[in-house]
Amino acid sequence: MYRRYSQKRRVEDLAKLENIVGIKDSIGNMPYLVELLEKVGDRISVLVGYDEVVLPALASGARGMILASANIIPDIWVKL
């Protein structure tokens, strides 16, 4: 798994491109994710990929999730 912070400026630049429609954040750092949502959440979909922050991420504006645990317990995530 690739876990590295994308420079916010780079993400902002990418979000301006017509063919970029979303980004998946798997870091699990809520302050970083909230800032990312504030900067680009109105232009591209921000998805979360870290199980432990799904609920606060969705409450903060993330548009969805891509989770490894969804392969094991899909019914729980579908209900959410």
pLDDT tens-place string over residues 54-74: 999 999 999 999 999 999 999
pTM of the model: 0.84
Alpha carbons 15 and 11: distance in angstroms, whole number: 6
Q: Are strands 45-48 and 64-65 parallel, antiparallel or unpaired?
A: parallel
Please identify which residue in the block is written with the tokens 């993400």: 11
Alpha helices in the chain (DSSP H): 8-15, 30-40, 54-60, 74-79
pLDDT at 28 over 50: yes
pLDDT tens-place string over residues 30-58: 999 999 999 999 999 999 999 999 999 99
Please check whether residue 7 is in contact with residue 30, taking contact to mean a CB–CB distance below 8 angstroms.
no
